[in-house]
Structure 1
């Protein structure tokens, strides 16, 4: 796959040209209280804590006990609404790859449990890039003039989709949810989301997948009753790792260029927390100083679609993201799908629970 070739750039929508932007108004995050350490995970296995830290960069991860994806989403969404000082929104979008049910979508339940009434609510499934895709979609909903305020939540209880016998996958992933409230504002103002770079390569869809449970597996099982499809996640780690660094680097470069910035203008990059080696590679490829690609993977693991918004809320609450910083957001994952955007960090409140 060659992600270095720039996709065609679409002309801006009329609303964007009129000066209307989608602005960050509040952030929220929730991670479950249960901490699963490397020592607890590995037991007596010869490959233990030091091996996981060196290969993946994870020491601990949070695992949901008795909570599902919508439960986490409601808590993160409530925190984002509180941070934004909002009691109502015009739409709710839920990004997840670990839905509580195949049908119906989880977003309407999130909206109902948050007391948001009968607003439009729907799910998107774009792998670990789901939050970036959701930002792009919610931004377009606002800049088109159709909506004034949108709640976007990314929530994954990915531990429910891991093979209990596959300790390596369990070492990588954790559970969590992050959310943002976007409001209509002035394009180019602090907090206004910049141009997006979104892309996909479905020819490599089988590099990360949960093969069982969908229509394809069910139809094949009906035709061949003896055929089985695993309900658990599987991944070609080395193949994905090699492409993720280049893919996110190229995507960030395009987003930064569309914003009229240079890579040297970046103060911070908030990237999908897939693997510390990937984050280190991204730092090197972008030519950034150590520490400018934020990381919390050591304590939380890879929380799938939730990783970027959880890190955003935690960093904002801690003051690591301060007003005026030029920030790039980026993610890469199953689909394959990737996405990036930019934002000048605003004065914005964040509520992060469980950090």
Structure 2
């Protein structure tokens, strides 16, 4: 069974929140934010802009690079924890906006690890139906679930979308990234360290209820950091071992762009020098499920990932969830 990436795309909304903006909103400073996170700015949606709107732009870019039209697709998988609506799925909204119908469209939620979990879903589809064309999108609008009065979390998150088109055979165009393997894991015992509860069945609202802090991201940053670094390192080593490879074979490490400290720590644990670690967290912040596909698309655009390169992907998110993938371009 093989899975090939035929095109990638990314999109962020126009509005930018800088660290200077946050200095006016909460008790913080540009120096404090940059020192602890590496983030300088993040993009956030305009009123009325939805996850499927962002996903649509990233999808069009990926389809164009793949040389395909929306109607060529057989499946649409959207990884998100901030869909337009609880139901219908964000993937259904995206299908409609792409101007197509009758496809297999569904969402998955693995928080910031969503794109890696989606890669495994795409591989499963292609194992059964190799000629399928799968659109995989990671998109989140975390600004909708960010408490802008909480100085410890509000500076971290931004909005964005990243997409990839996959099929079971190499493409005729220049783009061809073969997904060699994916390793995933979860541990629900850590759920209280990173969560959004408000509005779900475990924390329902009644008409007229006031939205409280439970509606927004809650995170124990120090504890999350420890588990994130440990699990991403372990997943990376497992996926490399499975292919008989080592970190010396890796041309580029692309991790979930949570913050600079985590990214650098994972690279250091794996003995991958900074020149082989891609980072764009300073421009976008933590965009959750969009983080990895946005970074992959941007790394390719900048020529940091070239034909023949081996890309090691690592992600971590609420759940806790984590995963790693190997892609040969």
TM-score (norm 1): 0.86
Q: Which residue number in structure 1 is paired with residue 303 of structure 2?
A: 319
CA distance in structure 2 between the partners assigned to 1:288 and 1:179 by the alignment = 26
Is 1:253 the counterpart of 2:253 in the alignment?
A: no
- Equivalent of 1:75, from 46, 57, 67? 57
1:201 aligns with 2:183: no
**Match runs of 1:144-163 below 5 Å:** 144-145=128-129, 148-163=132-147
Q: Unmatched 5+ residue regions in structure 1?
A: 1-15, 346-355
Q: Distance in 2 between matches of 1:236 and 1:288?
A: 27
Deviation at 1:198, TM superposition (A): 0.5
Note if 1:262 corresponds to 2:246. Answer: yes
Instruction: Provide closer, same or farther for how the CA distance between residues 41 and 314 of structure 1 changes in structure 2, counting only shifts above 3 A.
Output: same
Instruction: Report the alpha carbon displacement of residue 119 of structure 1 after superposing the two structures with TM.
Output: 0.2
Aligned-partner Cα distance in 2 for 1:137–1:37: 36
Of 190, 197, 208, 1:211 maps to 197
User: Does residue 55 in structure 1 map to residue 36 in structure 2?
Assistant: yes
- The residue aligned with 2:67 is 85
Q: Is the 8 A contact 1:90 1:147 kept in 2?
A: no
User: SS state of the match for residue 168, structure 1?
Assistant: coil
TM-score, with length taken from structure 2: 0.93
Distance 1:106 1:165 in 2: 28
Gaps of 5+ in 2: none
C-alpha distance in structure 1 between counterparts of 2:246 and 2:18, whole Å: 40
Root mean square deviation, CA, Å: 2.0
CA 1:241–1:260: 2 relative to 1, 3 Å: same
**1:227 Cα offset (Å):** 12
3-state SS of paired residue (2:46) = coil
Q: Distance in 2 between matches of 1:325 and 1:120?
A: 32
Instruction: Give the counterpart of 1:124 among 91, 105, 108.
Output: 108
Shift of 1:115: 2.1
Q: Is the partner of 1:281 in helix, strand or coil? A: helix
**Residues in 1 aligned to 2:274 and 2:267: alpha-carbon distance in whole angstroms:** 7
Equivalent positions of 1:1-355 (< 5 A) are 16=1, 21-43=2-24, 47-66=28-47, 67-87=49-69, 88-145=72-129, 148-185=132-169, 191-218=177-204, 230-345=214-329
Residues 190 and 343 in structure 1, CA contact (< 8 A), matched pair in contact too: no
Question: How far 1:264 sits from its partner (Å)?
Answer: 1.2
Instruction: Please state how far the C-alpha of 1:229 moved relative to its aligned partner.
Output: 6.8
SS in 2 for 1:167: coil
Distance across 2 between alignment mates of 1:230 and 1:44: 20
Tell me if structure 2 keeps the 8 A contact 1:42–1:167: no
Count the aligned residue pairs: 321
Per-residue Cα deviation, 1:27-84 (whole angstroms, up to 9, x for no partner)? 0100111111100112286530011000011011111113111110111111111111
The residue number in structure 2 matching 1:4 is none
Partners of 1:197 and 1:319 in 2: CA distance: 26
